[in-house]
Amino acid sequence: MRLPAAVLAVSIASSLLAGCASAPQRGDAHAAATATIAPCPDKPKWGDPTAPRHIHGNTWYVGTCAISAILVTSEAGHILIDGAIDSAAPGIEANIRALGFDPAQVRYILNSHEHIDHAGGIARLARNTGARVVAREPAATALERGKGDRGDPQFLTVAPFAPVPSVQRIGDGDTVRLGTLALTAHATPGHTPGGTSWTWRSCDAAGQCRDIAYADSLTPFSDKVYRYSDDAAHPGALAAYRRGIETVAALPCEILLTPHPSASDMFQRMGPQASKPLVDTGACRAYAAGAAAKLDARLEQERAQPAPAAH
């Protein structure tokens, strides 16, 4: 169902607070855990577990070695972005507990895009936590069905996942609010039709605030039938893809996070052993520029090859 207002809100007094969110910190326990995080394999599988990581302020990494799940915390409850695959859901809950937070306090689960590696665990996580699932169309419909449609460039190759009942719809530019938290949805289709990036502002205990962008996947992967250049088969899809890339380039973005941590060297930017800076005000622009170059290369490849038989 589509909410009548542009804001989804929980009726809690602290929701009247706005702006930079500073949540309860679990720093002492987390500092000890961070020092002992084992490295992930060079080519991790989607479900390979890893310890949680602190990103900044009230924002935490609770996903696997290969797939991101991001926890944003507040006194009024927490918001989780993405759920990896179904078998990874217990590990995500365990990571939340390891940080000192209660999974039952997750009030919303947001989605980046409607593929099994990011949406496969959402049904279980929503059931276990009681959280409401929020997504932009057409990802919301795909979540409820457990699979997208031919508008998805990878439709013929991606596996279905457990359907998510009663997904709440959110529009481009709408904001999910919970206590002091305010996470804004940005339409960034292309990798999938429902691709959505999320931004919020996170503050640490010392009052240092950063703009965080969870920029959705932008790679032009497809099955053997889909052609990005075929506007007759997919009206407006290529233009929307390019607008999505431009949107990512313009996001408020001091800290870039991505659904696949390897896409933005996330692990190399977190913790005391970080080898790259966490804060980079040009990261979203560089991420978008790389995506635009890959899309241009894909279109050139399509021009050089005959179209496959339609299915």
Active site residues: 113, 115, 117-118, 191, 226, 260
Report the C-alpha gap between 131 and 103 in whole angstroms. Answer: 9
Which of these, 203, 118, 136, 143, lies nearest to 173 by C-alpha position? 136
- Residues with Cβ within 8 Å of 34's Cβ and at least 6 positions away in sequence, in order, are 51, 53, 54, 271, 272
Q: How far apart are CA 187 and CA 166, in angstroms?
A: 21
Give kind and range of the element (H or E) at residue 184. strand 181-187
Question: Nearest Cα to 127, choosing from 156, 177, 180, 86?
Answer: 86
DSSP codes, 144-166: HHTS--TTSTTTTTSPP----SS
Angle, helix 237-249 to helix 283-304, in steps of 10 degrees: 160
Are 153 and 194 in contact by the 8 Å Cβ rule? The answer is: no
Measured N-to-C along each axis, helices 122-129 and 89-98 cross at an angle, to the nearest 10 degrees, of 50
User: Is-contact 253 213, C-beta < 8 A?
Assistant: yes
**Rounded Cα–Cα distance for residues 240 and 237 (Å):** 5
Q: Which residues contact 63 (CB under 8 A, 6 or more apart)?
A: 50, 69, 70, 82, 84, 88, 92, 95, 261
